[in-house]
Structure 1
Amino acid sequence: MHPLLEDGIAALRAGELVVYPTETFYAVGADAFSPLAMRRLFQVKQREPGQPVGLIAADITMAFSVAREIPIDARRLADAFWPGPLTLVLPARDDLAEELTGADGVGVRVSPNPVARALSAGIGRPITATSANLSGKPPASHLEEARAGLGEKVKVYLEGGRLTASAPSSVVSINASGWKMMRVGAISEDQIAAALK
């Protein structure tokens, strides 16, 4: 496992930020249930409030734990594409931080990257998965790109090599009345539709 993984887990537990690799680009991880960590995340990224922050969870059970309800189609898509580059936006639990939720709910995915999953498993909760860049800048494929943008304000940087994704995760909003594609990424709308047939 990654030589700095324990440092990353300790930093997250302390409310600090960690840059880590995912299956798409480098992400900034914070404990999604720590108000201090969430404030720090928005300050470091210079991110405007009102843009919900997506989450990465260690497994399907943890991912679904942030949802108020789990539509059957969400289970189907999770079975088809997780671990993988699909973010499901689900009806959010009432006790989630407002930074995590938008009009459609809370976005979460299970990453196939073992470092991403191990960080979430290590603190026992989902972690943030916002891209490791200043808001409005391109996502980071190399750790050095993330470090150049975010600098010393991030406590731990976890190397994951060059990440070669051509697209971010796809985002699908799903509730009892159906589903809609919110962002086409690594998984196409046709693939989503086929999995739900």
Structure 2
Amino acid sequence: MSRRFDCSNPDERTTGLAEAAAAVRGGELVVLPTDTVYGIGADAFTHSAVNALLEAKGRGRDMPVPVLVGTVRAASALVESLGTQGQDLVDNFWPGPLTLILRANRSLSWDLGETKGTVAVRMPLHPVALDLLKETGPMAVSSANRSGNPPATTVDGAQEQLGETVSVYLDGGPCNDNVPSTIIDLTTAVPRVLRKGAIPVDKIRGIVGYLATEE
């Protein structure tokens, strides 16, 4: 049976974070608030948990799951290199709504879907998410919704869509900004915008210089 914790209550927050961390370590799914929308998350290195996440969303392996981290050091361990541009973007926009596509560290044993050797990584600007991530390590996290439905901006919305597939729901209140993260691909010679989002393209261009867009 799913458990739900109100993170505006200090005692429930503490208990909820402990329960959520234990659930993640046990290969179960949790829902957590982020600075964009609610996310459904699992241990990034537990194959069965990532598969369960995809099944809960009704999503195929052709749409790999992004990874959220609680520290820049954790992100650095997941990738071959942040590179100069990646480091500059991290310094300016993390934690925050910026997702970077980077070459994955080839020594890691994980399966996030058909990633073609890359990983989408982000450090969210939300205290509950950061506290959980610092306890669990990197988590595979996707928006908390069934595929094709709008992402949940409240824990009620997430629970209505995902129900008992999730072990622990962390209620951080309504999301203040439901605009998705900006996604930048750093695996090509020129950084490329894959999705326009909360961080304006002009601000990113101001850091990295030339930036390719889909337009």
Deviations 1:91-123 (A, max 9, x none): 112235342563471011111111111111112
Q: Scaled by the length of structure 1, what TM-score is found?
A: 0.94
Q: Scaled by the length of structure 2, what TM-score is found?
A: 0.86
Partner of 2:61: 49
Residue 64 (structure 1) shift:
1.8
* Aligned CA distance change for structure 1 residues 116 and 7 (closer, same or farther; 3 Å): same
* Aligned CA distance change for structure 1 residues 176 and 110 (closer, same or farther; 3 Å): same
Among 86, 90, 111, the alignment partner of 2:124 is: 111
Which whole-Å CA distance do the structure 1 matches of 2:109 and 2:206 have between them? 32
Identity rate of aligned residues, in percent? 36
Which whole-Å CA distance do the structure 2 matches of 1:81 and 1:40 have between them? 31
Partner of 2:133: 120
* Aligned CA distance change for structure 1 residues 76 and 100 (closer, same or farther; 3 Å): farther
- Counterpart secondary structure, 1:49: coil
Among 73, 93, 102, the alignment partner of 2:85 is: 73
Number of aligned pairs? 196
* Aligned CA distance change for structure 1 residues 101 and 121 (closer, same or farther; 3 Å): farther
Q: Is the 8 A contact 1:16 1:37 kept in 2?
A: yes
Residue 158 (structure 1) shift:
0.1
* Aligned CA distance change for structure 1 residues 49 and 175 (closer, same or farther; 3 Å): closer
Question: Once superposed, which parts of structure 1, at least 4 consecutive aligned residues long, lie more than 4 Å away?
Answer: none
Residue 69 (structure 1) shift:
2.1
Where in structure 2 are there 5+ consecutive unaligned residues?
Answer: 1-9, 210-215
Partner of 1:97: 110
Q: Is the 8 A contact 2:184 2:191 kept in 1?
A: yes
- TM-align CA RMSD: 1.5
Which whole-Å CA distance do the structure 2 matches of 1:114 and 1:101 have between them? 30
> Which protein has the larger Cα radius of gyration, Structure 1 or Structure 2?
2
Which whole-Å CA distance do the structure 2 matches of 1:45 and 1:145 have between them? 14
Which whole-Å CA distance do the structure 2 matches of 1:131 and 1:137 have between them? 10
Say if 2:213 is the partner of 1:196: no
Amino acid at match of 1:115: V
Q: Is the 8 A contact 2:112 2:140 kept in 1?
A: no
* Aligned CA distance change for structure 1 residues 76 and 97 (closer, same or farther; 3 Å): same
Which whole-Å CA distance do the structure 1 matches of 2:114 and 2:93 have between them? 22
Say if 2:159 is the partner of 1:142: no
Say if 2:202 is the partner of 1:165: no
Deviations 1:48-105 (A, max 9, x none): 1111111110111111211012211000000000010000111112235342563471
Partner of 1:175: 187
Residue 192 (structure 1) shift:
0.5
Residue 175 (structure 1) shift:
3.2
Q: Is the 8 A contact 1:92 1:101 kept in 2?
A: no
Residue 24 (structure 1) shift:
0.4
Amino acid at match of 1:146: A
Which whole-Å CA distance do the structure 2 matches of 1:30 and 1:11 have between them? 9
